[in-house]
Structure 1
Amino acid sequence: MNYSTLKKGLAVSFVALMGATTLASAQDSTMTTSSAKVFGGRGQYRTWSIGVNAGVMSPFLVIGGTNDFTNADVNLGYGLSLKKQLGHAFALEGNVFRGKVSGTNKDFAGGSQFGVREFETEIGYSADIRGVVNVATVDFLRRENSVNFFVSAGYGLIAYAPSFTSEAGTVSDWKGVAGESRDKEYVKEAYIPVGAGVKFKVSDRVAFNLGYTMHFIDSDNFDGVYAKPTSKDKFSYGYAGLEFSLGSSDKPNLEWVNPLALMYDELKDPSLRQEVEALKTRVTNVERSIEDLKKDTDGDGVADQFDKCPGTPAGTAVDGSGCPLPVATTTVNGDVTGYEPIQFEFNSSVLKTESYPILDKLSSGLRDNGGKVTLNGYASSEGTAAYNMKLSKDRANSVKTYLVNSGVNSSQVAAKGNGEANPIASNDTEEGRIQNRRVESSRN
């Protein structure tokens, strides 16, 4: 059989088998499949499979190239495979196979070329590891694929023994006399397998494969002929085979699961939607709680849930609990000024803006009626006594500076620091300490 006849036979077989297996996979598509989530990891799938295959071997490749012979014989090859699926589209596969490759020069003028009529090479064994990529599927919109196209490439080691017949009819056999010392059973060389094929899902456990692999050998003696020293020999293997998925029947085969369908199912999963709605409700409740925390009905700067004195009039000075600060009055030339204590932040002598109305009222009384005022500064009990004395003096001077800048004669105002003395509330609580950070005035 010549090479063109071989190609025609393989093409017819391919079309026939593709039609038969597509029908089988279509009948199987109604089966109930195991559920899985696309983001759940490989543990929820079957990922191991074992395969058997058989087919024809040829010294020619479909891509062409140089060859030492003009005609190919049809010879049997057979092999085993073990595959680990690492993802929906990628796997690592180990392969071993045996067989025989032969060819002749019968179509060459005189029936021989390079002084050789024919050759026959026995493959004692061949082993390789390949990466297998699923490059397309004709029914990717189905919940489970039933047809996959794949390509593969890898690296391996082959042991072979060529024999050839010379133009004079002499047969030379390398088996048993291979190697540098001529005492080895086979020649051993590295090779690169490059292949493609199509796979049909027959059942949940079984797939039918049609494939074609080209083997590029790292030598020029696979056919026993060193005709072109710069060239490398090669051969091809067209095969059909069955692949059996291993593992629990409760899990789907990762190779056939459609990730697009699983993602759609996961997005439409009622339980997931319920979780999303529950999360929305929780977020709404948190937002409401935050608004409640910020709510200040009487506008005194203290949130309602912390306000112990709700409903205080607008503009009333309050403490940290929302209660009005006690009012201390003083007189200037016999007039009641309504002057309240000037409050300060912790460890600060900077006047707060809410104190300006009180200070303006005191300034007006002093400018209009004359007289003198002593400003007594105080501090809460935090810190050392010496530091608090200085802080209380700074607070009194801050008030004096404001009054003088507003037009009061500096001789009318005296500033005095009293440190921690004369607390008007307990220093054991923050509310009390807030009240004690103050400046009071007294008539001279």
Structure 2
Amino acid sequence: MKINLKKTALLLTGILTCGKLFAQVPDTTQTSADYVKPFAKDNSYRTWSIGFSGGVLSSYTILGSNKHLDFTSPNAQLGYGGYIKKQITPAFGIEGDLLAGKLTSDNSQPDAVGKTYDSFSTKLRYALSLGANVTVGNISWHDNAGAIQPYVTAGGGIIGYKPVLTANGTSSNFKTTDNGVINEFFIPIGVGLKINVAKGINIDLGYQVNFVYSDNLDGYNYGTNNDKFSYAHIGLEFAIGNKSKPQMAVYNPVSSMRAEYMMENQNTRAQLQSQIDAQKVQNDQLKADLATTNATLAKFTADSDGDGVADFYDKCPNTPAGTKVDGAGCPLPVAKPEVKVYVTEDDRRVAREAVKNLEFDFGKATIRQHSDESLNKLAQLMVAKKFSLKLSGYTDNVGSVDANLKLSRDRAEAVKTYLATQGVDPTKITADGYGKASPIASNKTAKGRQQNRRVEFSLN
């Protein structure tokens, strides 16, 4: 790509020299007058700014190669611009941009009939746009105000330009009316970096690709793509407003919150120490009170007869050693000798008959009436011989695990309840359910499933 940067170099040198002079101003971003509390209102900042830039305009962009351009040899030309911006938040602003300059290139692509042009020259009379400026990061390690702000921009606007084509040494306007000027819509998208060189003054380095909503920018309709051009620039941004206020775009809310925390922490140290000293006095008093309380409680823990009941609560003092006592310290009644119970074959036959005749309503824990006679005989046997009984409920494999487990438990409990109504001591009956566990027949047949739906009895 041919580079013609004489005018551009002069402009950039001037901007850099100016920026260098500004950079000599001492940094005052850490002064107390510049500090703003977190979540302060917008009028605590400078939210308006203006900027000026100069740089290189070219029909070449980083989004494509020269061989796809209408003219394959783009030249670099001087471009210049300016903007005014309103910062809404530290990360987001709205700005109006103006860009002007010139685009040139040589060697057009041949069209379908082999027609070519030597070059084109397009004067950008203006490119006015309104867009968003989003700060990607506000980099700062020590200061409330950031030092570097990467950003992206995007917007839309109107561009006015005048393309002139040259073929065989003869130049002509692409458009023959309106003095050759074309007005169209375009979309500018850019990235950049702002460097804070002084309070309210930033160097702006950026690159912008402008998408024109037509293929007329170079005056030559070739291919199917719309034209686009780039603007690489350097410039200066100046914050507008009260110089004592920080610029919102470079302000770091996180650092501000940290500074606020540090200041509040400093102010409360004396108060915290005073509270700690007061708490120590209270702790000493509590220790003294606790010693008095322990002495008072000692009399409640004395146990002269060693029966495990303190003398203060012992209603039967001087109980002989080894005597089992109740909560009041009095001897417990002597347990009666255990009477062994023997289960005969006839007893087991009564239990088997009760199991054999035991039936429930389908899917319920309701005992059918014809089971009562066998259960009554079992109840009479248990009352007469003081037997203990274990009930174990089971189901087939139809239904969910939880449902079967509940049903088996409910049926075992139903048998226990029935026997209790017949005079059996309920403390001698244990009932539990095991769902579809331990089948005694195949669950693949109706008969097998019927056999698995059971309550087993165990006398002892």
Please give the TM-score of this superposition, normalised by the length of structure 1.
Answer: 0.55
Residue 86 of structure 1 corresponds to which residue in structure 2? Answer: 89
Match of 2:70 in 1: 68
Matched-pair contact (CA < 8 Å) for 2:194–2:205? yes
In the alignment, which residue of structure 1 is the partner of 2:299?
315
Matches within 5 A, 1:205-284: 205-207=200-202, 209-230=204-225, 232-236=227-231, 238=233, 240-246=235-241, 248-257=242-251, 269=263, 272-283=265-276
Q: Distance in 1 between matches of 2:266 and 2:219?
A: 69
**What is the CA–CA distance in structure 2 between the aligned matches of 1:289 and 1:92, rounded to whole Å?**
56
Task: Report the CA distance shift for 1:36/1:44 in structure 2 as closer, same or farther (over 3 A).
Answer: farther
**Retained in 2: the 8 A contact 1:104–1:119?**
yes
* Other structure's SS at 2:25 match: helix
Which letter maps to 2:33?
S
Q: Per the alignment, in what secondary structure is the counterpart of residue 173 of structure 1?
A: coil
Tell me the distance in 2 between the aligned counterparts of 1:13 and 1:177. Answer: 30
SS in 2 for 1:93: strand
Give the alignment partner of residue 24 of structure 2, picking from 23, 26, 30. Answer: 26
| Alpha-carbon distance in structure 1 between the residues aligned to 2:272 and 2:80 | 61
2:57 alignment partner in structure 1? 58
Q: Write the deviation string for residues 396-443 of structure 1: whole angstroms up to 9, x where unpaired.
A: x9768x63417699xxxxxxxxxxxxxxxxxxxxxxxxxxxxxxxxxx
Aligned residues: 321
Q: Distance in 2 between matches of 1:357 and 1:16?
A: 101
Question: How many angstroms does 1:51 deviate by?
Answer: 0.7
Q: Measure how far apart 1:127 and its partner are.
A: 1.1
CA pair 52-92 structure 1, distance change in 2 beyond 3 A:
same
User: Counterparts in 2 of 1:296-375, with a 5 A limit?
Assistant: 296-299=290-293, 312=296, 314-316=298-300, 353-354=309-310, 358-361=314-317, 363=319
Equivalent runs, 1:192-203 vs 2, <5 Å: 192-202=188-198
Report the Cα distance in structure 2 between the residues aligned to 1:185 and 1:231, rounded to whole angstroms.
15
**Inter-CA distance 355–172: structure 2 relative to 1 (3 Å threshold):** same
Other-structure match for 1:151: 151
Post-superposition offset of 1:54: 4.7
SS in 1 for 2:221: coil
Secondary structure at the aligned position of 1:129 is classed as strand
Amino acid across the alignment from 2:231: S
Tell me the distance in 1 between the aligned counterparts of 2:219 and 2:164.
6
Could you tell me which residue of structure 2 aligns to residue 130 of structure 1?
132
Q: Give 5+ residue unaligned stretches, structure 1.
A: 179-183, 301-310, 318-337, 339-351, 368-396, 410-444
Question: How much does 1:95 deviate?
Answer: 2.3
> 2:174 is matched with which residue?
172
CA distance in 2, matches of 1:205, 1:313: 74
Give the conservation status (yes or no) of the 8 Å contact 2:78–2:102. Answer: yes
Q: How far 1:96 sits from its partner (Å)?
A: 2.4
Which aligned pairs between 1:412-427 and structure 2 lie closer than 5 A? none
| Cα contact 2:7–2:78 (8 A) shared by 1 | no
1:47 and 1:85 in contact (8 A); partners too: no
Q: Distance in 2 between matches of 1:286 and 1:267?
A: 25
Residue 81 of structure 1: how far off its partner (Å): 1.8
Cα separation, 2, equivalents of 1:16 and 1:226? 38
How far off is 1:150 after superposition?
A: 3.3
Cα distance, 1:196 vs structure 2: 1.8
Structure 1 letter corresponding to 2:184: V
2:449 aligns with: none
Deviates more, 1:254-263 or 1:280-289: 254-263
Which amino acid is 1:188 matched to? F
Root-mean-square deviation over aligned CA pairs: 4.9
- 1:233 offset after TM fit, Å? 2.1
SS at 2:16's partner residue?
helix
Note if 1:405 corresponds to 2:332: yes
- Contact kept? 2:79, 2:231, Cα under 8 Å: no
C-alpha distance in structure 2 between counterparts of 1:287 and 1:44, whole Å: 47
1:163 aligns with 2:163: yes
- Cα deviation digits, residues 360-415 of structure 1 (max 9, x gap): 416559x9xxxxxxxxxxxxxxxxxxxxxxxxxxxxx9768x63417699xxxxxx
Q: Which residue of 2 aligns with 1:187?
A: 184
Amino acid paired to 2:86? K
Q: Which residue of 2 aligns with 1:420?
A: none
Between the aligned residues of both structures, percent identity stands at: 11
Displacement of 1:84 in angstroms is 0.3
Q: Deviations over 1:183-235 (max 9, x none)?
A: x962224x142132444535x44445454433234543332322221464223
